[in-house]
Amino acid sequence: MKRPDDLVEVHRCSQAEAIVIRGLYESYGIPSVVRSRLSLSVHPFTVGDQGEVTILVPESEAPRSRRLLMGLVHRRVS
């Protein structure tokens, strides 16, 4: 059974980009979790898709977090 604050994926990116996005979300009061498939203690490096991380937010915050991210992308392109 889904609860309103179940975590949902909103973006996949590199670890470096995830740090920036997580900071953006934090500044707007959106809690987030960064999940990776690799254990950095075993593999202290990332290469290609192996370094990909997933950013998760509560389902209730997903629309707002996606809008913030799209606004950031549009500002960077302009």
Confidence of residue 76 (pLDDT cuts 50, 70, 90): low
| pLDDT at residue 11 greater than cutoff 90 | yes
Task: Report yes or no on 2 lying in a domain.
Answer: no
3-state secondary structure the chain: CCCCCCEEEEEEECHHHHHHHHHHHHHCCCCCEEEECCCCCCCCCCCHHHHCEEEEEEHHHHHHHHHHHHHHHHHHHC
CATH number for position 60 = 3.30.70
Task: Report yes or no on 1 lying in a domain.
Answer: no
Domain that holds residue 60: 7-77
Confidence of residue 66 (pLDDT cuts 50, 70, 90): very high
| pLDDT at residue 33 greater than cutoff 80 | yes
Flag whether the pTM goes above 0.95: no
Task: Report yes or no on 36 lying in a domain.
Answer: yes
